[in-house]
A and B are shown apart, each in its own frame.
Chain A
C-alpha cells in the first residue's frame, strides 16, 4: 500500500544511489517554473560550465517578484530590479525558454499562472526556486521549492538528488463555518503543529473539509504547507481537480485527455495506508484566524487575545514571544479586535485568485474603507485573474470602496518592488509570512484570509467577518 507521496516519488525515480531506503535518489522533474530572483546565478553557472538546458519544454518562466503593480508602460524604474527582470528576459530569449513577459496578459505570480495555464498537471514533479512551490501540490503533484544550485541542477540534468521525506496526513473533517476559509484552516494547522511541525515531512491534506474546497482553496492550503515546515503539501485528485484543468492551454485534449484523466484518478493514497504521522483538525471548530507575531505559528482566533509571555514556562519560547510583541507593538492580553491597521494588502501566491477576490469583494461591496486606513490595495495574481475580476465588476466594487486596483505580481507580500510598509506601519495581509521586515523594514504584518482583510479594511481594525456579512 502506498501514500500519494510514495506514488509520486516512486514514479519519478531515475536512479537510486544506494539500496538503503533513506538513500539519495535521482528524481526526474517534469515541470520547472522559473522567476527572475533565484535564476540568474543558475543560468550563469550553466553557461560557465558550458552546459545547455536539458529539456526546454519543461520550463515556464515569468517575472513576478520585482515587477511594479502600478502603470507599467514606462518599464521598471528601480535600475537593480530592472536589470534582474531584463536578465531573465535575456536568458529566456537566448535559450529559447517560454516566458510570459511583464506586459503579457498571462503574466502573474508564478504559482498562480502555472495552474491557470494547465502547466501544472496531476502526477507531475514541479519545482521552482521559490518555497511556495508547494502550492502546486493541490493538483496531486510532488511540488517543492529549491535553491539556486538546484535550479541549475534541474536546468542541466532534468533531475534532482533528493532524499525521501516522511509522510504526514492532515485530516480535516466536517464543514467549515460561513466566512471561514482555506486560509483559516492553514493558519489553524500551523498554530497547532508549529512552523517546524512539518519539517522532514511531505504533508497530504485529506478529509471531507478538504474535498469540499475549490482548487483555489486547495492551492491556498498547500501554499502554506511550507509555513508549517513541510517542503511539499499535496491533495489527491478528484472531480474538482479534473474540472479545473479541463480546457486550460497546456492541458491535454481529446484522446490524450481521456487517457490522462484515467491515470490522474489513481493519484490518491491507498485506503488504509499508514502515514508516519497523522494530525486531525475539526473543521467545524475553525474560526477566522489572525496572526499577532512574527512567525505564522503566532496565531490567534479573531475573538481571542494577544498571548501573555509571562504565562509561558519555556524560556526560549517566552523570549521569542516577548521579542515578537515588542516588534509588533502589541501588549499582552490585548483583544485581537482592538488591533487597528494602517494598510490592507489583498494579494500574493496564497490569496490572489479569483475566488479570493470575490470573497473580499463580497465583504466590501457597498461599504468604504475606514478613515484610519492609509492604503488598501488589491493585487490580482495574474493578468488573467485581473481580467476576469474586471469582467465580473469586482474592480469597481473595490475602487468604490476606496481600494487601489493594481497590476499582478508578488507586490507587498515581500516588498521587492515599491509596494511596502513604512517602519511601524501595521498591515492586514492575505500573504503567507509575517516575518520581521517581510513587508518592509519595521513593518508589522498580520496574516488573515481575504474576507478578514476586507472586513478589517472596512472597520479599520480586526473584526469577525462572520458578524458583518
Chain B
C-alpha cells in the first residue's frame, strides 16, 4: 500500500451530494482484470460528452467543458472536496482506484458511504470527514480563490487553509498507523495466524456444519 504522510495540494470542488460509485467509475470499466489505468475514466459520464467504452483513446474523446475537473484551474488537483454520502452504492474498489489513479490523494466530505470509506484506506487514499459548515466554507473559498490549496497532515490530523486556519479531523489509530507506514494489512493479520488456526479449530468442533 502507498504510504501517506502529508499532502499540500490544489483543491477541486465537486458540488454534489450522494455521488455514487457508478458515477465515479461506470460499470463498463469494471470489466478490466487489472488494478491500474482507471483514472482516465474517472467520472466518465460527466467528464466526456460521448459514451466511453474500455479501450477507447481518451485523447480522441469530447470533453464536457462544463464539468468541474475539466476546468483548467483545477488541473493537477490532489484534494477532492465534495458533499455528503460520497461513494455510496457498490463496493467496487475500482472507485478509489480511479480517484487515486487520476491523482487525488485526499477526499474531503461531510460524510462517506461505509464500504467506500474503508476501501480508500486499503490503498492509501485518505478520506477526511469535516463538519458540514467547514466543508461549506471551503467550497466558498475554493470558488472565489483560483489556485486554492490545502495542506493535509495525517500525523497531526489537521487540514490547514492558505490563510492559516487549522481544522482537526478524526482517524482510527490503527488505520492511521497503517497509512503512515504503508503497511500490508494481510501481512499484519498473518502475524496472528496461530490465533486464527486455534479459533478455526474450536469453531470446527462446535459447528462442524460450517466446514463442508
Binding site for B on A (CB under 8 A): 14-15, 17-18, 23-24, 26, 28, 30, 37-38, 40-41, 44-45, 49, 51, 54-55, 57, 65-66, 78, 80-81, 83-84, 87, 121, 123-124, 129-131, 133, 144-150, 152-153, 156-159, 161, 163, 165, 195-196, 199-200, 226, 229-231, 250-252, 256-257, 259-260, 263, 295, 316-317, 319-320, 323, 414-416, 423, 433, 435-438, 441
B93 within 8 A of A: yes
Min Cβ gap B86→A in Å is: 10
Would you call A24 and B174 a contact (CB within 8 A)? Answer: yes
Cross-chain contact B20 with A41 (CB below 8 angstroms): no
Q: In angstroms, how far is the closest chain B Cβ from the Cβ of A105?
A: 21
Q: Is B182 an interface residue (CB 8 A)?
A: no
B71 shortest CB reach to chain A, Å: 18
Closest to A88 in B: B33
Query: What number of A-B contacts does a CB cutoff of 8 Å give?
Result: 195
A251 CA to B207 CA, complexed, in Å: 12
The B17-37 residues at the A interface (CB cut-off 8 A) are 17-18, 20, 22-23, 26-28, 30-35
Instruction: Write out the residue numbers on chain B whose beta carbons fall within 8 Å of the beta carbon of A54.
Output: 196
User: Which stretch, B100-108, B110-118, B143-151, B156-164, touches the partner chain A?
Assistant: B110-118
Provide the residues of chain B in CB contact with A30, threshold 8 Å.
203, 210
User: Could you name 28 residue pairs across A and B whose Cβ atoms are closer than 8 Å?
Assistant: A15-B192, A24-B174, A26-B189, A80-B31, A81-B31, A87-B33, A147-B92, A147-B119, A149-B122, A149-B185, A150-B119, A150-B122, A156-B190, A159-B189, A199-B112, A199-B113, A229-B85, A252-B208, A252-B212, A259-B209, A295-B20, A295-B88, A316-B84, A317-B17, A319-B16, A320-B18, A414-B22, A437-B45
Q: How far is the CA of A257 from the CA of B207 in the complex (A)?
A: 10
Could you say which residues of chain A place their CB within 8 Å of the CB of B17? 316-317, 320
User: What separation, in Å, do the CA atoms of A145 and B212 have in the docked complex?
Assistant: 23
| B54 on interface, CB distance cutoff 8 Å | yes
A319 to B207 Cα, complex, angstroms: 53
B18 near A147 (CB under 8 angstroms)? no
Which residues of A lie under 8 Å from residue B93 when comparing CB positions? 38, 41, 129, 147-149
Please tell me the size bucket of the interface on B. Answer: 35 or more
Q: Which residue of B lies closest to A78 (CB)?
A: B31
Contacts of A250 in B (CB 8 A): 212
CB closest chain-B residue, reference A414: B27
* Given A157-B186, A433-B22, residue A55 in contact with residue B114 (CB < 8 A): no
Q: Which 7 A-B pairs have the closest CB atoms?
A: A252-B209, A147-B93, A149-B122, A147-B119, A145-B91, A40-B33, A196-B85
Residues of B within 8 A of A320 (CB): 16-18
Closest to A28 in B: B199
Q: How far is the CB of A317 from chain B (nearest CB, A)?
A: 8
Contact (Cβ within 8 A) A157 B115: no
CB of B83 within 8 A of CB of A316, answer: yes
In the bound complex, CA of A24 to CA of B15 (Å): 33
Cβ–Cβ contact A196 & B18, under 8 A: yes
CB pair B189 A161 closer than 8 Å: yes
State the Cβ distance, B54 to closest chain A Cβ, in Å: 6
Assembly CA distance A66 to B91 (angstroms): 17
Chain B residues in 8 Å Cβ range of A437: 22-23, 26, 45
- For chain B residues 89-136, which have a beta carbon within 8 Å of chain A? 89-94, 96, 111-115, 118-119, 122-123
